[in-house]
Amino acid sequence: MENASVFIVIPAYNEAAVIESVLQKLLAANYFNIVVVDDCSRDRTGEIVKNYPVFYLRHIINRGQGAALRTGTDFARQQGAQVIVHFDADGQMSVEDIARFVEHVNARRDVVLGSRFMAGSEVIQMPWHRKLLLTGAKVFNLVVLGVNYSDPQNGFRALSRQAAERLRWKNDRMAHNSEILRLIKTERLPYQEIPVKINYSEYSLKKGQSFKDVWKIIWDLFINKF
């Protein structure tokens, strides 16, 4: 499949410091369908993104990462995307991994999920407290939601067009990761986990999830069941 039908969706909130280098790497790798959803940034994110030949969408009110991904995914579908890749704006994900995600979707896996904990993955500078948090998330997802994935909080994923149509997550904020995994199970979509390279930086760690987000995620998952 040509890169023409591959859309990269990037939710961005106050990412002026790194978004430029992420876009440059993606364009250099010949991904020309890039959808940046600016979740009401207060810095120069929008100004920077508008200088590049990418789709720029702006939320006029901050709605959270889950909502920004939903907006970008819906938009990519409308543009005729066959494969939709969710990619972070903070520069910790590797552009080189995208090709393998696309290959697996083309091999009739509707959903491909990145994993930091499989053999072959490469995780640079992950602090112990982040590892502890992710282990806790894995146990929670297994025990409470009944989904068994090696890395449930990883936002690096690719969806086929069909999967993007069927995965209708409701959570606007960080709980969307767990909800997507539950939906993959309930929709019985064929999925595959693949090892990825993640490079943590001081910047990406500051932007990522922390222990104080845990209760909020649990509450959001609960309230959105009704």
Partner 1 sequence: MFLLQYLLIALSVLGIISLFWQIRRGNMDWFSSIKWFVAWCAVLVVAIEPAIADWLANLFGTGRGADLLIYLSILFIFALIFKLFLKINQVERQISDLVSHLAQDKAHKKKD
Summarize as ranges the residues that interact with partner 1 (CB under 8 A): 37, 50-61, 63, 67, 70-71, 74-75, 78, 170, 172, 223-224, 226
- Extract the tokens encoding 5: 């039908």
3-state SS, residue 33? coil
Q: Would you say 56 or 203 has its CB closer to partner 1?
A: 56
Please state the closest distance from residue 179 (CB atom) to partner 1, in A: 13
For strand 157-160 and strand 83-86, is the pairing parallel, antiparallel, or unpaired?
Answer: antiparallel
Q: Which letter does DSSP use for residue 162 in this model? A: H
- Extract the tokens encoding 45: 């994110």
3-state SS, residue 7? strand
- What CA–CA distance (Å, rounded) separates 46 from 32? 18
Please state the closest distance from residue 169 (CB atom) to partner 1, in A: 11
- What CA–CA distance (Å, rounded) separates 51 from 66? 25
Half-sphere exposure of 83 (CA within 13 A, CB side): 26
Q: Would you say 31 or 101 has its CB closer to partner 1?
A: 31
108 conformational bin, left if phi > 0, alpha if psi -120 to 50, beta if neither: left
Q: Would you say 42 or 131 has its CB closer to partner 1?
A: 42
Please state the closest distance from residue 172 (CB atom) to partner 1, in A: 5
Please state the closest distance from residue 133 (CB atom) to partner 1, in A: 25
Q: Would you say 37 or 196 has its CB closer to partner 1?
A: 37
Residue type, 214: V
Q: Would you say 6 or 112 has its CB closer to partner 1?
A: 6
Q: Would you say 167 or 196 has its CB closer to partner 1?
A: 167
- Extract the tokens encoding 11: 């939710």
Residue type, 218: I
Helix (H) or strand (E) holding 135: helix 128-143
Please state the closest distance from residue 67 (CB atom) to partner 1, in A: 5
Please state the closest distance from residue 187 (CB atom) to partner 1, in A: 20
